[in-house]
Amino acid sequence: METSMSSPDMVALDRLSCNLEKLLLDPTCLKFADVDIVLAAGDGDPDDAVVGVYRCILAARCRFFLDLFSSLPVAATAGEKPQLELAKLIPGGRHIGRDALVAVLVYIYTGRCRTPPLDAVVCLDDNCDHEACRPVIDFVVQCTYAASGFQISELVSLFQRRLSYYVKIALAEDLVHIILVASTCELPDLLRNCIQRVSTSNLDRSYLEKVLPADVYTKEIRQYLLPVSQNIIAVDPEHEKRVSNIHKALYSDNVYLVVTLLKEYAITLDDVFAMHYAAAYCKPRVLTELLKLDSADVNLKNYSGYTPLHMACMRQEPDIILSLIQKGALLSARD
C-alpha cells in the first residue's frame, strides 16, 4: 500500500483542497456564491466588506452553519442572496477582518490552515522580525474570534497556543487585544497568562481601566495592581476630583470648559496629564485644540512612564499620532 505524499490518493486530495480553496479566493468562482457574510472591519473598502460563501459546503462541514442556514427564512425572490452581518452573528464579530475570516473559512472548506497574506501580518518597522508584532497578534486574535464563534474547537486550540506564546514575548501594550479575545471567547488559561503579564508591567492603569471590560479589570487585574499603585503616589482626593472633572470635560469635547477649570483650579494641562487622556480617549480634533493652546509638554511621561504619543500608538489613531509628531513628540522619549 502506498503511503507517500505522491500517491494518487494524496494528489487527488490535494487537488480537491486547492479547488475548494478557489471557491473563496477566485473572483470567477465567487460570483456563484449564494450567501454573503458582511464584515464590520472592512477598512472602508466595499470589496473588503463582503465575503461570498457557499452554504451547502459550510453546512456540510460545520454544525454552526448547518444550524444557522436551517433557521434562515426562504428567500423572497428566486436568486436573492441572503446577507449575514458578522458583527451580529458571533461574539467579537465586529473585530474580524477579511483576511482572518477567509483564513478560517478556508480551513472549513479544505481542512487545511492557509498561510496568511504577508501584508496582514507584517508591520512597517524594517527592524522588526515580525514574530510577535501588532499585526501578527491582531490577525491571530481575529482568527480566534472567528474560530470560537463558528465553534471549531481544534482551531481555537491552535490559535490559543499561538497567543499564549505571544503573551511571553510581545510588548505589554499589545496584550490588551489578547485579553479581550480571551475574555469574550472564554479562554481562562489564556486570560490568566495575560493578566499575570500585564499586572507586572508599567501599562497605564487608567488606560487599562478604560479599555478592558469592567469585570476583567475589577475582578482580575485590579487586585494585582493595588499593591503596586499604593507605592507610586499618595492620592490627594481633592486633586483626583479636579482631574476627574477635567477629564470628563475632555471626553465631552468641551475644551472651553477645560480651560475654564484649569484657571479655576490653578493647575496646568501637565498636572492632570490632559494630553495623555486626549491621546487615548478623545476625538482627534479635541487633541488638536489642546495643542493649539501651546501650554503642554508633548513628551511628558505619566506615572507609568508613557508619553501622549505612546498612548496614541496603543490606540492606533493616525491623526492623533501625526498631530503629536508635528508638535515635536518623540517616540524615543520613553526609556
Which H or E run contains 76? none
Main-chain phi, psi angles of 307, to 5 degrees? -95, 170
Say what the pTM is: 0.76
Q: Tell me, what's the pLDDT at 235?
A: 56
Q: How confident is the model at residue 232 (pLDDT cuts 50, 70, 90)?
A: very low
What letter would DSSP give residue 41? Answer: B
Please give the grid coordinates belonging to residue 166.
505571544
pLDDT in tens, 256-276: 999 999 999 999 999 999 999
Q: Are 133 and 140 in contact (CB under 8 A)?
A: no
Q: Tell me, what's the pLDDT at 272?
A: 92
**pLDDT at residue 301 above 70?**
yes
Burial of 24 (0-12, 13-18, 19+ CB in 10 A): buried
Q: 3-state SS string over 99-149?
A: HHHHHHHHHHHHCCCCCCCHHHCCCCCCCCCCCCCHHHHHHHHHHHHHHHH
Query: How far apart, in whole angstroms, are the C-alpha atoms of residue 274 and residue 264?
Result: 16
Q: Tell me, what's the pLDDT at 146?
A: 98
Query: How far apart, in whole angstroms, are the C-alpha atoms of residue 327 and residue 263?
Result: 24
Q: Tell me, what's the pLDDT at 334?
A: 53
Which H or E run contains 45? none
Place of cell 513628540: 329
Q: Are 256 and 288 in contact (CB under 8 A)?
A: no
Query: How far apart, in whole angstroms, are the C-alpha atoms of residue 72 and residue 145?
Result: 23
pLDDT in tens, 115-169: 888 777 777 666 777 788 888 999 999 999 999 999 999 999 999 999 999 999 9
Query: Which structural domains are found in the chain, ordered by start?
Result: 13-112 (3.30.710.10), 116-232 (no CATH), 237-333 (1.25.40.20)
Query: How far apart, in whole angstroms, are the C-alpha atoms of residue 102 and residue 25?
Result: 8
Please give the grid coordinates belonging to residue 203.
501599562
